[in-house]
Structure 1
């Protein structure tokens, strides 16, 4: 079969016609597409214009409604504030009268005149007896402590002027305490020869040594004067009243000098930005002091070179000595029993030039947990302390606040009328549990011997939080800590107003930290202008008048997620919205109003008739803890793992190391730290 014949070849005119037709078709399609896109663009523009118009109308309506709500609530807020001030004034009058009847001589830390009178009176005292000086320093310590409580309360209430005044008085009293001890030390070493054979508080012997101690409460001072150098062995100086033993090496014993030891139960180091540590349990100060020239005796006269109440410290190791382990001064000291110490404590000395605590030069640190005796060797003689990372307990993983039924306390004659439980979980502890009432605050967990006083009695909010910080659980970050540790805090307006709103709903709603369940923009979590949390109405069927049908109708069984955000265009400066609102403009100035459509009549009644003193105590606690700025568990931890439950269950037992369970099966699970204090790293604490 032959090959197929090829089709007729198109002519040039036909090809040109086909090309022309194709170009016309392409042009038509292109014009239609451009027309369609233009129409679509116009439609989108029209829709966007209408949307913006609707948003503008909704925003305008929102601002009008928020302004009306803000104006309508002013009078009620002012009336409530006046009632609170009247109640506080009445309680202060009762307290002042009780102090008057008790003939209490301690000055009132809230009165500037009382503190000035105390300072002037103390300045005029001219005691040369060490126990008397230490006693006066102990009295000053009580005043300092009262001032610290007033200062912390002023911080909680944002009273800047009072904070500055208290801080000035605290520094003045601490400096004056040091001056009194310095002046008495100068007197003792000036007249050391006269102490060789006298007084019950002086331990002297014929070998030319003088040892004097003074201890009153936690304030302790001991001085050993080596008038006549002798011996070729180490000298063990036993300050028994101080519960301290200092073993000095031969180069010290062979020189005429003095060794002084001081313990003050507070950290008087400079609070610089570089200082990342705090002194846990107070500060021990050990100094080597140069003795003045010995007196000259002639014809019954004694001639001395006066030092003008100044002392000369000696650098250690002494001049001509090389810093070696054999020259380390060995110290054994009994630690305060009201502080929780880590099993392997860090000990450091204060570097005044750099204003930081330094651990170099301290070795062989050993803490006997049974006797609370700390042993260490030091090549540095200055302020020495057990160190703790300043922010060890700042970061919270989760927290919850829930009111208890008043029936739980109906049998107590003098018990609280309102009780709420604040539970916190952080890096160090599975559960820190505070009971907040109208008569004070009490610590329920941790429940350990070091915190027995805090577990047993109700105290003012500022006092219990400060005593908890002294014990090693500092939950109160300061604004300077935001800079020191690189924390992005919530804006102060948001933080302050949010706390003021939360206390108004605490009597009717359980409040919890945000657990990530709501589908909100995660980028806003760390925004300083937004704060997220959840609430759920507390239902007490046996206490309230609400029926089961009312409760079910209001759907109060599920948590309501709330966002608080800064809005500079509103009168209040901020607003609230819940996840139950579909419309993003459905916002409220006050949290109470935002929850009103979702609240039962009983919840509204409880909020309207809340105990003002309870709310005042709660306000101070929340303001000092700064929960919204320092709750950052969602950044590093599994949310489910750190969610707080109402009671400790078997799940928690699986999280405790076997070594802990084997050592003591009676230790409550909530008292077991999440991490060992010594294992705190920069990542763990930040």
Structure 2
């Protein structure tokens, strides 16, 4: 009823037909620029927020509705990122029209309350212009020489929301569900075997345990020194949480630029979409020098009580990892952090979710008629909540 009274033209998140129509119509429009995507982004984020609120009402929705709402959230998040990619591609096609008079390259910053969009296009391909600082955003980078001589664009898209970490939650739930199924299947097989052999199930488990132990010991003894790979440094999001949003850092292929022919402007159109620039520092002679250096300006609305942990998103494993990030320098007073990456990644800054626990004390005292001040003293901070 509230949605009906608002009459703002946005789809009703509880009506699948309206959500599907909204996404289909937006998919068909592929000529939008960054500003138009930003305007539509506000609608998408509101829809996602409403769907997440509906998921909290577990007692009032069916299991089918819950699965449907979760699927809509993922589709809207994916579509939003896709539209930013399309808008980036449209901007890159005309990058030469906005080249900087001093460097001959193109760079710009577009931002609002939800995102900061930074892009640098290497039009002149000169080694002395291998680093750049986006003055309006405070972010910057330093490229290896091989990239400075290539037709490449660097995009830094900072979203103050996090549409990446929920993918880890979905993957974890799926894995736990599969593990539960495997355990039940193993228990059923064990009970079946114990019935056939006419011995207690506990004896079968002991047999399997002993056999597995022997195999593991044999495997360890046969391994050569140094042959075991180091376990990947996977982030546990129950212990650490991303703070300040997500930074999508990409190296992109530069599409053919427009050429002026008389009174006409001609450009070759390639139906390939936004292409990632293939870059691997392992191909360079000195992998250390081939790393990309990134400097991020930290958001003003986030307080880091400790040095943030820099993690990169592993799309294949659906998880945050800390390997591939090195030489981290945190400047608290300047509110910036600098690090090196072996490739271009989506990164986030993480903090311990429990660093302010346990709470040291709390106090509630009146400040007037029907008013009070609730004070919580934590490890690093004191929080005051005014109650009216």
Q: What TM-score, normalized to structure 2?
A: 0.66
Q: Secondary structure at the match of 2:97?
A: helix
Say yes or no: does 1:119 pair with 2:23. Answer: yes
Say yes or no: does 1:383 pair with 2:346. Answer: yes
Q: In terms of Rg, which structure is larger?
A: 1
Say yes or no: does 1:262 pair with 2:157. Answer: yes
CA deviations 1:421-442 (Å, max 9, x no partner) are xxxxx98332698x9xxxxxx9
- The counterpart of 1:193, out of the listed 85, 88, 96, is 96
Bigger relative contact order, structure 1 or 2, given CA contacts below 8 A and separation 6+? 2
Shift of 1:309: 5.9
Partner residue, 2:83: 180
Q: Aligned partners of 2:151, 2:361: CA distance in 1, in Å?
A: 52
Q: Structure 1 residues 369, 155: CA separation in 2 closer, same or farther (over 3 Å shift)?
A: farther
Q: Aligned partners of 2:63, 2:318: CA distance in 1, in Å?
A: 25
Say yes or no: does 1:142 pair with 2:46. Answer: yes
Partner residue, 1:555: none
Q: Aligned partners of 1:449, 1:147: CA distance in 2, in Å?
A: 34
RMSD, aligned α-carbons: 3.9
Shift of 1:184: 1.1
Q: Aligned partners of 1:352, 1:106: CA distance in 2, in Å?
A: 31
Partner residue, 1:523: none
Conservation of the 8 A alpha-carbon contact between 1:333 and 1:374: yes
Partner residue, 1:133: 37
Shift of 1:257: 1.1
Say yes or no: does 1:428 pair with 2:357. Answer: yes
Conservation of the 8 A alpha-carbon contact between 1:330 and 1:378: yes
Output aligned runs, 1:451-470, within 5 Å: 455=385
Partner residue, 2:231: none
Say yes or no: does 1:224 pair with 2:120. Answer: yes
Q: Aligned partners of 2:278, 2:25: CA distance in 1, in Å?
A: 35
Partner residue, 1:276: 236
Q: Secondary structure at the match of 1:312?
A: coil
Q: Which runs of 5+ in 2 are unaligned?
A: 173-233, 365-372
Conservation of the 8 A alpha-carbon contact between 1:257 and 1:290: yes
Q: Structure 1 residues 340, 235: CA separation in 2 closer, same or farther (over 3 Å shift)?
A: closer
Shift of 1:260: 0.5
Q: Secondary structure at the match of 1:325?
A: coil
Shift of 1:247: 2.9
More strand by share: 2
Q: Aligned partners of 2:25, 2:157: CA distance in 1, in Å?
A: 24
Q: Secondary structure at the match of 1:131?
A: helix
CA deviations 1:528-548 (Å, max 9, x no partner) are xxxxxxxxxxxxxxxxxxxxx
Shift of 1:359: 1.4
CA deviations 1:323-359 (Å, max 9, x no partner) are 6333333322233344453412211111223333221
Q: Structure 1 residues 116, 293: CA separation in 2 closer, same or farther (over 3 Å shift)?
A: closer
Q: What TM-score, normalized to structure 1?
A: 0.40
Q: Relative to structure 2, which stretch is displaced further, 258-267 or 301-310?
A: 301-310
Q: Aligned partners of 1:294, 1:121: CA distance in 2, in Å?
A: 29
Output aligned runs, 1:41-60, within 5 Å: none
Q: Which runs of 5+ in 1 are unaligned?
A: 1-92, 197-203, 394-425, 436-441, 459-686
Q: Secondary structure at the match of 1:308?
A: coil
Conservation of the 8 A alpha-carbon contact between 1:134 and 1:214: no
Q: Aligned partners of 1:445, 1:369: CA distance in 2, in Å?
A: 25
Q: Secondary structure at the match of 2:80?
A: helix
More helix by share: 1
Q: Secondary structure at the match of 2:27?
A: helix
- The counterpart of 2:313, out of the listed 343, 350, 362, is 350
Output aligned runs, 1:19-418, within 5 Å: 96=2, 100=5, 104=8, 107-151=11-55, 153-155=56-58, 159-196=62-99, 204-205=100-101, 207-232=103-128, 234-238=130-134, 240=136, 242-264=137-159, 265-269=161-165, 270-271=167-168, 272-273=171-172, 276-277=236-237, 278-295=241-258, 298=261, 300-308=263-271, 310-317=273-280, 320-322=283-285, 324-388=287-351, 392-393=353-354
Q: Aligned partners of 1:188, 1:220: CA distance in 2, in Å?
A: 15
Q: Aligned partners of 2:77, 2:351: CA distance in 1, in Å?
A: 22
CA deviations 1:615-666 (Å, max 9, x no partner) are xxxxxxxxxxxxxxxxxxxxxxxxxxxxxxxxxxxxxxxxxxxxxxxxxxxx
Q: Aligned partners of 2:382, 2:72: CA distance in 1, in Å?
A: 28
Aligned length: 312
Shift of 1:297: 5.2
Q: Aligned partners of 1:457, 1:106: CA distance in 2, in Å?
A: 34
Q: Aligned partners of 1:328, 1:385: CA distance in 2, in Å?
A: 18
Q: Aligned partners of 1:379, 1:447: CA distance in 2, in Å?
A: 38
Q: Aligned partners of 2:134, 2:263: CA distance in 1, in Å?
A: 35
Q: Aligned partners of 1:144, 1:376: CA distance in 2, in Å?
A: 33
Conservation of the 8 A alpha-carbon contact between 1:235 and 1:250: no
